[in-house]
């Protein structure tokens, strides 16, 4: 599977009005890609288009809600109508609530799953018919919590675990059918975005994340890499990788770590009640930044850089192996169906 250089690509970025999506759209445009940006916030989209244009880049805004399959289909159709094709589809839209499971209402739980998990599925369903025509990349930003949940995040972690499972199944199905679409799961640790400031909170204060926080540019660079190099998973941040390794080695030990450190490290000293504005039911138009409240962050990750290089070799080897295995799998399925008949 070969992916085109970014300067030759049309890239759709969903969730581009703020946070990781916004930083990704800006960096893609700097690399020469033609970018289609989408989110629920029209003001945020216009703002990022203006920023990209001020640097000489090209971007088209299309307002859409990921929870609505028809709106995702319209977004994909618009990208093709304007640019003729879609080469890469990036899903970076997400919402969150900070509350215990018992304090999370069924409506709140459903809203988070609809945006984070079903939204990613709606986007993939709209994107894949366009990507399969000439090949391309489907990139979804999940989270380290796709594999190791933190307390106070039951709905968020459930939605991210769901993304991980969906992409695993989808990746194999595409390989089986010989469809040249790379499927990448981006798993960031704590990133300095407005997600924390926009989240619904029932813990009495503005939430935050366990240190160390990373700049959203570190995630954006990983996404840009995946748009040009087929990669299965990219963990962003050494701290996230340490937790994922710990989860594989001893889930009970990670339970203990979360019990000891998982509550205090997610609290700021700034009071905030549940009545404060959040983006769970709709966008906060005034939030138009890629970055949040952390201030000092890490702007590079040694692990992430190493992981990108590792992926080059590993994915090339397994890509060649998949080229042999997929026809064999189809033959076995055909033989099995014949035997049943």
Residues with a catalytic annotation lie at 156
For residue 319, give both structure tokens.
Answer: 């890509």
What number of helices (H) and strands (E) belong to the chain?
Answer: 11, 11
Q: How far is CA 58 from CA 32, 197, 239, in A?
A: 8, 29, 35
Q: How far is C-alpha 216 from the chain's CA centre?
A: 12
Strand ranges in 105-175 using DSSP code E only, listed in sequence order = 136-141
CB 258 within 8 A of CB 210: no
Which has the closest alpha carbon to 14: 96, 71, 57?
71
CA nearest 150: which of 243, 268, 20?
243
Q: What is the DSSP string of 112-131?
A: HHIIIIIHHHHHHHHHHHHH
């Amino acid at each position: 599977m070969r992916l085109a250089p970014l300067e030759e690509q049309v890239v759709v970025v969903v969730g581009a009005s703020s946070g990781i999506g916004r930083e990704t759209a800006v960096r893609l445009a700097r690399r020469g890609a033609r970018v289609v940006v989408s989110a629920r916030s029209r003001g945020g989209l216009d703002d990022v288009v203006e920023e990209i244009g001020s640097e000489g880049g090209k971007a088209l805004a299309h307002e859409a809600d990921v929870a609505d399959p028809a709106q995702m289909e319209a977004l994909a159709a618009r990208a093709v109508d304007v640019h003729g094709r879609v080469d890469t589809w990036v899903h970076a839209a997400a919402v969150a609530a900070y509350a215990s499971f018992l304090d999370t209402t069924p409506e709140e739980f459903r809203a988070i799953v609809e945006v984070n998990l079903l939204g990613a599925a709606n986007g993939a369903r709209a994107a894949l018919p366009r990507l399969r025509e000439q090949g391309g990349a489907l990139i979804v930003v999940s989270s380290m919590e796709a594999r190791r949940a933190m307390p106070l995040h039951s709905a968020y972690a459930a939605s991210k675990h769901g993304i991980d499972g969906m992409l695993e199944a989808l990746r194999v199905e595409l390989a089986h059918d010989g469809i040249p679409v790379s499927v990448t799961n981006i798993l960031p640790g704590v990133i300095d975005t407005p997600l924390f400031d926009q989240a619904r909170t029932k813990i009495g204060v503005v939430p935050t994340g366990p240190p160390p926080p990373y700049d959203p540019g570190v995630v954006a660079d990983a996404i840009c890499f995946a748009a040009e190099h087929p990669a299965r998973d990219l963990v962003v941040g050494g701290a996230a990788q340490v937790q994922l390794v710990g989860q594989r080695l001893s889930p009970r030990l990670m339970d203990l770590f979360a019990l000891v450190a998982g509550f205090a490290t997610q609290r700021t000293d700034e009071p905030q009640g549940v009545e404060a504005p959040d983006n769970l039911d709709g966008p906060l138009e005034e939030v138009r930044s890629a970055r949040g409240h952390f201030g000092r962050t890490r702007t590079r990750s040694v692990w992430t850089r190493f992981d990108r290089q590792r992926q080059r070799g590993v994915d090339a080897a397994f890509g060649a192996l998949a080229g042999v295995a997929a026809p064999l799998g189809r033959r076995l399925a055909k033989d099995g169906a014949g035997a049943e008949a």
